[in-house]
Structure 1
């Protein structure tokens, strides 16, 4: 079964993205890594909350139709309703969003981006010049994190404009082009402080999709 991350970009867009990273890294010693993740969390609480609320509504409505207010009848209706709807939340993630706050999604994406930064070795480049462009497809959210070497020279706040640019492009259905533009902009922001070196090597993957380097 194809994951959200695997279907997010076409093969042509993936190839273009890799070439974009290669082109930018010919100008700077920075290491830019786009990471495409299906989701930043399974949001198990939303499964249970959706099951509880919808199961309760179903039980109440059916009990009213039957004209029976007995607690045991309510429980007999609620339990299978809860199981049905909680599994529905799990099987159809789009429904789950009704029970997830924007704050929770934002926090999960931020945490997942930071975890991905370290798991994929962006903190281990020679000059501490790793940059992750993390896209969480389910949340339609983007995070950009840079390593200490870059943050010592470039105000971390500048990445916010790049995030807005990429996010807008994704919403407009041009994810590949928006990511390429974002990568190019990241290169422009760091090239003055981190120009290419004679002995520079490509230290990190140029695209990661669901943990698979490309």
Structure 2
């Protein structure tokens, strides 16, 4: 299952995406870096709410089935079930989904993308032309951020269309192809203003998968 950063793309898709980035960067001084993360956040609040919800339901059902009336026994069972279900939610993060709002996920994806942008040095390119295509597998979310050199010229809202195209492709089961098309589209948007320079160098990795960076 493609539920982690490491399994999101096959090796062939990774190789194709790296080559796609290299080909696009032959036409622009922009530095485009796809970053794949398993999750943007651990969502501990959802874990607690989910554990409590499942714990209460299970404890009530148990009390009804066995006709229990002892309040202390009920509380003991509730605590035990709460402990069990919080551990299950931690082990199987997909169970947290009903307890996480879309707004919360979007906020966490945005924050994680900003963190990845700076942590991976996209703000340190020579001409301030770094672009991150951040994919968070757990949330099925995509975010694109560009550095100041690009944002001063290119309307930041144009990235929303690219995000929508990538997201659609991922949902259709074509993550590698979708990301490659996103890279190509980013290159088209910036190549006019930031063409390749004679002394241009590949300053950043061409693909980052949770700390594993690749240039070639």
Give the unaligned 5+ runs of structure 1: none
Q: Deviations for 1:4-49, whole angstroms, at most 9, x for unmatched residues?
A: 1010000110000000000000000000000000000111111111
Question: Size of the alignment, in residue pairs?
Answer: 213
Q: Does 1:137 align with 2:157?
A: no
Q: Residue 206 of structure 1: CA displacement?
A: 0.4
- TM-score for the superposition, normalised by structure 1: 0.97
The secondary structure found in structure 2 opposite 1:118 is helix
What TM-score, normalized by structure 2, do the two folds share? 0.96
* CA deviation profile, 1:78-129 (whole Å, cap 9, x unmatched): 0110011110101111111121111111111000000000000000000000
Which residue does the alignment assign to 2:158? Answer: 158
Task: Give the aligned partner of residue 13 of structure 1.
Answer: 13
Alignment map for 1:43-192 (pairs within 5 Å): 43-192=43-192
Structure 2 unaligned segments of length 5 or more: list them: none
Residue 70 of structure 1 deviates from its aligned partner by 2.7
Please say if residues 3 and 138 of structure 2, whose CA atoms lie closer than 8 Å, have aligned partners that are also in contact: no
Runs of 4+ in 1 over 4 A off after TM superposition: none
Q: Is the 8 A contact 1:51 1:86 kept in 2?
A: yes
Question: Contact between 1:29 and 1:200, CA under 8 Å: does it hold in 2?
Answer: yes
Distance 2:68 2:36 in 1: 51
2:3/2:137 contact within 8 Å kept: no
Q: Which stretch has the larger CA shift, 32-41 or 90-99?
A: 90-99
Equivalent residue, structure 1, for 2:41: 41
